[in-house]
Amino acid sequence: MIFVYSLGGSILAGRDAQSLKEYAQALKELAQEHQIFVVVGGGRIAREYIEKARALGASEMFCDTIGIGATKLNSALLVAALGDAAPQEIPDSYADAARLARPGRIVVMGGVAVGQTTDAVAALLAEYVHADKLVVATSVDGVYTADPEKDPAAKKLARMSFQALARLAMETEMKAGSRSPVDPLAAKIIERSSIPTAIVLGSKIENLRKGALGGHTGTEIRRE
């Protein structure tokens, strides 16, 4: 099967070398039986650098370029952790990513175009390579009925429809205090192509396998 991961940048960059190796090992094991693509986010460096550049008067578009740089830096760290299992080339396009794919090889990429996030890149890549599943390995452990930090009655959803995800992403866009794990563009792509998607806590290594193959405790986005 073909799996595309959207991996939050903070999930990788916060790890020491040994822990990065363990994370990479889990991906390598999956790659023995499946074709794996990983899209890595910008994490803390992206946020810090963008904030400073913005304060210096940089345009939003230039800030996005800085963000893309951070995603590539984090991607390079994962490539280093994967060793021979990943090409030392970080593709700039979906076509290049598909071209680099080989059995047992893990293709790692970051951002590709301004005005979006790596969740959208991962969703578009999933469309392009006809992925069987998109796994959003992120800093939250699923989608909740309300913000769990503010509402103690908030419940995690085990399942959600494509339409409900798109709706949630649009609503979240309008208000601060994000409850949507993906941005509206990514949600729209997931919806239009009905890409089976798992939202899982990315810091748990076992969620890499479980997000793709099942058995996780996050949220599954699928046809209801």
**Whose Cβ is closer to ligand UTP: residue 30's or residue 112's?**
112
Closest approach of Cβ 161 to ligand UTP, in Å?
22
Closest approach of Cβ 44 to ligand UTP, in Å?
8
Q: Other CB atoms closer than 10 Å to residue 182's CB: what's the count? A: 29
Closest approach of Cβ 84 to ligand UTP, in Å?
27
Closest approach of Cβ 62 to ligand UTP, in Å?
10
13 closest CA partner among 198, 178, 139: 139
Q: Which residues bind ligand UTP (CB under 6 A)?
A: 8-10, 41-43, 46, 63-64, 67-68, 71, 111-119, 121
Judge contact between 201 and 210, C-beta under 8 A: no
**Whose Cβ is closer to ligand UTP: residue 41's or residue 184's?**
41
**Whose Cβ is closer to ligand UTP: residue 85's or residue 221's?**
221
**Whose Cβ is closer to ligand UTP: residue 35's or residue 71's?**
71
| Distance, C-alpha 219 to centroid of its chain | 14
Q: What is the DSSP letter of 114?
A: T
Q: Which residue is nearest to ligand UTP (CB)?
A: 67
| Distance, C-alpha 3 to centroid of its chain | 12
68 closest CA partner among 94, 89, 50: 50
Closest approach of Cβ 144 to ligand UTP, in Å?
17
What single string gives the DSSP state of each residue in 172-199? HHHSSS---SS-HHHHHHHHHTT--EEE
Q: Cα(17)–Cα(13) distance, rounded to whole angstroms?
A: 10
Closest approach of Cβ 219 to ligand UTP, in Å?
16
**Whose Cβ is closer to ligand UTP: residue 63's or residue 143's?**
63
What single string gives the DSSP state of each residue in 125-160? HHHHTT-SEEEEEESSSS-BSS-TTT-TT--B-SEE
**Whose Cβ is closer to ligand UTP: residue 20's or residue 112's?**
112
